[in-house]
Amino acid sequence: MSVAPIDSRQTNQIWNARLRRIARWLSTPHVFLSLIMILIMFYMVIIPLYRMLIMTITVSDSDLRMLPDANIGDFTWYHWLRMLTSQISKIMTYEPLLHSITISIGATGLALIIGGLMAWLVVRTDVRGKGVINLLATVPYIMPSWTIAMAWKVLFKNAKSGGTPGLLEFVTGNPTPDWLAYGPIPIIVSSGLHYYTFFFLFMAAALLSIDSSLEEAGELAGAGRWRIMRKITFPLIIPAIASGFIMTFSKTMGTFGGPNVLGVPVQYYTLSTMLRSNTTIGNYGDAFVLAIVLIMFAMVNVMINQKFVGTRKSFETIGGRGFMSKKTKLRDFKVLFSILIVIFQLIIAVLPLTLLTYSTFMLRTGDYSLSNLTTAHWVGEGVITINSGEPGVLLNPKIYMGAWNSIRLALLTAFFTAFFGVILGYSIVKGRGTRLSKLVEQMAFIPYVIPGIAFGAIYISMFTKSVGPIPPLYGTFALLVVVSIADKIPYSSRTGVSAMLQVGRELEEAAAIAGASPWRRFKRIIFPLTSTGFVSGFLMTFITVMRELSLIILLVTPSTAVLASMTMRYIENGSEQQANAVIIILITLVLTGNFIIGRFRGGSLKKGLGM
């Protein structure tokens, strides 16, 4: 039987029908927004990663002195062989890698112990002052990660390795041991005390959802308290522990401030400080190899945790028979535990700030006597014998420029990332289950596994030259904004998705039936109902960008310097009092911003972290 040929009119009708379907699909709001966000993230994340990889396998200007017979742009394995197999690879790569892993494992373990124990006491016992404890637990996260490291230096450094004595040596007359003054132990402790907030927040949320009847069933079966915790409670909070592990380990692997303050003076280099050293002298190819090593370790960390959590069939803690949360009674120890927790938190939050503040009034470093106190570092007119002639921080126009740069960088980044978070949340939730939605979610997650200093290195590789119509951005303030937005996209997408999941489809559908345009629906329905998530994402981004250092340390110039980078510059120049004064100003601005922004529409740091 013969088949009638399809004439041209039928062919046109088929193609017109397909084009109409494609047009309807593209005009769907969540599809249109998804495609826009994919393009933005491709430009901000994928292209920089590609260009960084290319720079590790091509000859650049600075390589010609080592490769005289090569031409710029030629293919080469020089940087990979130099950093992984040459005689200097031990010093340049493997020792810093071992140091980074040691610090990350140690800090993560310490943070788990502190945060987990505190979360259990707050959630599963009748300890008093839970509101105060919850509030104080977020303070270390608000402070820059190297604040405790700087305070540690003031307290424990010795004259042998630090040049001048710390407070402990000054008071006792006995030098503190070298291992306590600088190196891995101080970095691990200071990092663990800073990042325990992650474990506290994640594990507290998980413990709140556990039905205590599960543990009571274990008691009825004759199991002891330790066996119940090991066999019932602990397995159910594995996802929370994994989340805290990923956050803490990844952050510590890529952190720069603490290792720079407590490691570099004794030549204890990590990958982040070695990466910075290479970029400072122009060895970008070598630096980018280290950046890729950092990224690979972060990705492996995430995959191991996902595989570990995925081996369990279920983590369900809430069933359909009702929910019970029985508190462990501390009896006579209730007040004691409350006091000990609050004292511990005050030591972490208040003691570093007290030590740093006191040091800003010291005329000479290492002399903690009252006769050495002065206000020169705050309001001094500028004497050549003090801080190389720079005026006090409150009279120094450079400080005001740095403060303004910090504030506008944080505000611009917070606004755009919070806005992108709402769009990402809408795109992911409304298209849930589709390949496009999954692609958007996966692309938004990529910066999450890239340590901050490696992400900054990526942007050096991209914006030293023009990219299409966009001119070179290296050395401009715009580059700091772009890299900060790209780095915070994963966090803004989490808050956006969490907020969007609470908005029912029928609300937007009813508005569409009533004839409201997509923009009007977004303005009158979607955004007002997700504004709490917007504010929480704005708040978290504002705080993290204000105190960000690792991400931008490779990108700032004297004209684009922010308070965080100025702190490190003063430390490296030996102006410790000025550095400490700047960080006090920075923390004051962050706390003020946290208070003001948190007043709007129920925004909070916990919601910003997806709690």
Lowest mean pLDDT among 62-66, 285-289, 518-522, 607-611: 607-611
Q: What CATH number should be reported for the domain whose range is 39-72+385-611?
A: 1.10.3720.10
Of 318, 545, 511, nearest to 415 (Cα)? 545
Half-sphere exposure of 29 (CA within 13 A, CB side): 17
When pLDDT is cut at 50, 70 and 90, the band that residue 317 belongs to is: very low
- When comparing pLDDT for 149 and 603, which is higher? 149
Q: At what angle do helices 435-445 and 397-430 cross, to 10 degrees?
A: 160
pTM above 0.75, yes or no: yes
Of 86, 55, 100, nearest to 453 (Cα)? 100
Q: Does domain 77-373 have CATH number 1.10.10.10?
A: no
Q: Which two tokens stand for residue 6?
A: 């399809």
- Asked if the model's pLDDT at residue 306 lies above 70, the reply is no
Strand, helix or coil for residue 497: helix
DSSP 8-state code for residue 366: T
Strand, helix or coil for residue 167: helix
Phi, psi values for residue 191, rounded to 5°: -70, -45
The segment(s) of the chain belonging to CATH 1.10.3720.10 are 39-72+385-611, 77-373
pLDDT at 95: 95
pLDDT in tens, 524-539: 777 777 777 677 778 8
pLDDT mean over 66-78: 86
pLDDT at 261: 92
- Asked if the model's pLDDT at residue 65 lies above 60, the reply is yes
pLDDT at 484: 92
pLDDT mean over 535-544: 81
CA dist., res. 95 & res. 260, Å (int): 16
Q: What percent of the chain has pLDDT over 70?
A: 86
pLDDT in tens, 362-403: 988 888 999 999 998 999 887 777 777 788 899 999 999 999
pLDDT mean over 474-487: 89
pLDDT at 598: 65
pLDDT in tens, 85-125: 998 999 999 999 999 999 999 999 999 999 988 888 888 78
Half-sphere exposure of 245 (CA within 13 A, CB side): 18
Contact 34/434 with Cβ under 8 angstroms? no
Output the CA–CA distances (angstroms, integers) from residue 496 to 2, 246, 482, 610, in the order listed. 57, 21, 20, 9
Please report the sign of the dihedral spanned by the C-alpha atoms of residue 461, residue 467, residue 471, residue 476: negative
